[in-house]
Amino acid sequence: MKRLISFIKGNLTFFIAIAIILIITRVKLPYVIYTPGGSIDLSSRVTGKNTYDEKGSLSMTYVSMVRGAPVFVALSYVLPNWDLVSTTKIAYDNEDINDTIEIDKIYLEEAYSNAEYVAYTSAGVDFDVNETKNIVTQVSSKAKTNLKYNDEILKIDDTNYNSLEEFQNYISSKNVGDEVIVTYKRNNKIYTDNVKLVDFDGTPKVGIGIATVSEYKTKYDINIETKSTESGPSGGFLTALEIYNKITPDDITKGRTIMGTGTISKTGKVGEIGGVKYKVLGAAKDGAEIFICPKANEKAAKDTVKKNNLNIKVIGVSTFDEAIEALK
């Protein structure tokens, strides 16, 4: 014991230094830091059979996010474009930041599902629907249900609904206070829940958010590669463009380096995203010639280009078809 005490005293400075390093790098404060991201070339991510070649490239951009260790929080006060954000501002209601990331992985699946549907319909390609899943993404604090995020809804009152719209139409035919029987899957087990409909601005609702994920089959046998670290729906728009370019003979890249961001709905609407500044800066770093984004983000993207004197053309669009025409 005396030897141990003597050893600790003799190396006290070393142990204090290790403790400080662990504190400033490992302790997590309730913040994240957004920094300029980068881009992912989709030509190798989206693959298929008998697809068409492209001379340029289509890449989705992303925001780099650093968890709030003290050392990174301190750096955010001195480094340009390192912005400190409270986790309470980006977490979904009733969820912490870790659950929010997992929920965003569900939205990523939906985004890629929507991307396939929009690309196939816009290109006039025949497809079959192999499977459709309705997955719970959020549960309101007002909801009177045992459902949790990642539950798969199988039936409502013994009826299977293949889209969110069908589900919403059925619920809206009910009254506030009515009960519906929800059959759902959790961890490969089947459950039922008697759910009382609650009032949302005079409309009966279950009080949940749902992501609809479908698997499609075409002659091109399209496959979209993802990584476990990726989440969120903002890559859906560029993925739809890449799929479309793979299955149509007219190359919309025309040899250009095109990068961008945006959500995509099943109807082809290109939706607003967050963090466009960091995505434009990441695109510039990776050599983008064109940055295509939702119309709602166009001004912020152009302001970033102007402020940082970047040589990028920004195109803002509201729909997928509008994007195809702009790139052609």
Q: How far is 124 from 228, CA to CA, in rounded Å? A: 32
Mean pLDDT of 263-290: 95
SS3 category, 206: coil
User: Sheet holding 57-67: strands in order across?
Assistant: 83-86, 31-41, 57-67, 257-260, 290-294, 313-317
Provide CATH 2.30.42.10 ranges for the chain.
130-213
Pairing of strands 223-224, 290-294: unpaired
- Is it the case that residue 314 has pLDDT exceeding 80? yes
- Is it the case that residue 143 has pLDDT exceeding 60? yes
Phi and psi dihedrals of 28, rounded to 5? -105, 115
The model's pLDDT over 170-190, given as tens digits with 9 standing for 90+, comes to 888 989 888 999 999 999 999
**pLDDT classification of 30: cutoffs 50, 70, 90:** low
Pick the CATH number of 130-213 from 2.30.42.10, 1.10.760.10, 3.40.50.2000, 1.10.3720.10: 2.30.42.10
Query: Taking a C-beta distance cutoff of 8 angstroms, is the pair 305, 312 a contact?
Result: yes
Q: Which of 232, 208, 236 is closest to 224 using CA atoms?
A: 236
> Which range among 93-107, 128-142, 149-163, 202-216 shows the weakest confidence by mean pLDDT?
93-107
The model's pLDDT over 213-248, given as tens digits with 9 standing for 90+, comes to 999 999 999 999 988 888 889 999 999 999 999 999
Q: Residue 322 is which amino acid?
A: E
Phi and psi dihedrals of 290, rounded to 5? -125, 135
Q: What is the model's pTM?
A: 0.82
Q: How many helices (H) and strands (E) does the chain have?
A: 10, 17
The model's pLDDT over 65-108, given as tens digits with 9 standing for 90+, comes to 666 566 666 655 656 666 666 655 555 555 666 777 788 899 99
The model's pLDDT over 279-305, given as tens digits with 9 standing for 90+, comes to 999 999 999 999 999 999 999 999 999
Looking at the structure, give the CATH architecture of the domain made up of residues 2-91+105-126+219-327.
2-Layer Sandwich (3.30)
Provide CATH 3.30.230 ranges for the chain.
2-91+105-126+219-327
If you write DSSP's letter for every residue of 123-183 in order, what string do you get? Answer: HT---EEEEEEEEEEEE-TT-BS---TTPEEEEETTB--SSHHHHHHHHHTS-TT-EEEEE
Query: Which pLDDT score, from 0 to 100, does residue 70 have?
Result: 67
Query: Taking a C-beta distance cutoff of 8 angstroms, is the pair 214, 89 a contact?
Result: no
- Is it the case that residue 272 has pLDDT exceeding 50? yes
Query: Which pLDDT score, from 0 to 100, does residue 285 have?
Result: 94
